[in-house]
Amino acid sequence: MTAEARLRETMCRLAESLYLRGLTHGSTGNISARCEDGGLLVSPTGTSFGRLDPARLARFDAEGRHLGGDRPTKEMPLHAAFYETRSTAGAVVHLHSCHSVALSLLEDPGEDFLPPHTPYAIMLLGRVPLLPFFLPGDPAMGAAVRGLAGKRSAVMLANHGPVVAGRDVEAACNAIEELEATARLALLTRGLSPRALTGGQVRDVVDRFDVEWDA
């Protein structure tokens, strides 16, 4: 099996896992990954994470030309913005996960969408900014990500869902699962005066695990 064939299988397997555990639903969500030649594999538009076909993933070359497969997700500008601004991005995942979307409906959290309840969200995601609401597929989402100048690996689209870039597709999926779990924890403890990590503890995590934080 070629490296690209393995990547296709991995993308579909991980997408199905996310779907079966309720982290996205219906035909929502999209996933992409960088190929060895610099091109991209992208989930098609209007498809379910639970039923992706490896052979039908959209294939792009390194110059962004569509070489084959089905028509890609309408959120391509969002994916492209991460690849263009983060040289370490090997995959991008976007979900409509329930708890993170619910948390985005509440008041503006300021600089950080996720509260510092555990070290793992800090380690895997760094700071996660909450971006404004955009119509699905609006190229302005890509412009908003480019405005971050590659300093953030994850964003939360208000009233829409999280987007995470990772070094590879498994890392991106792990990180977006951590984002959703942290949002769920924030909702479960809301109004209960939870004991979050202190500023010093956050700094210890940032320094120990070399997290992008202050950029």
Question: For position 32, which CATH number holds?
Answer: 3.40.225.10
Q: Tell me the pairing of strands 30-34 and 161-166.
A: unpaired
* Known active-site residue 9: no
| Blockwise average pLDDT, block size 10, the chain, 215 residues | 96 98 95 97 96 97 94 96 97 98 88 93 96 94 96 96 98 98 96 94 96 85
* Known active-site residue 83: no
- The answer to whether residue 215 is domain-embedded is no
- The answer to whether residue 214 is domain-embedded is no
pLDDT at 4: 96
Placement of tokens 């992706």 in the chain:
52
- The answer to whether residue 35 is domain-embedded is yes
Q: What share of the chain is helix, strand, coil (3-state, %, to 5)?
A: 40, 15, 45
pLDDT at 215: 65
Residue from 19, 75, 83, 178 carrying the catalytic annotation:
75
Residue from 4, 16, 84, 120 carrying the catalytic annotation:
120
Which residues, at least 6 apart from 110, have a Cβ–Cβ distance to it below 8 Å?
none
Q: Which domain holds residue 201?
A: 3-208
pLDDT at 1: 81
- The answer to whether residue 213 is domain-embedded is no
Residue 191: exposure state from Cβ atoms within 10 A (0-12, 13-18, ≥19): exposed
- The answer to whether residue 38 is domain-embedded is yes
Count of domains in the chain? 1
- The answer to whether residue 47 is domain-embedded is yes
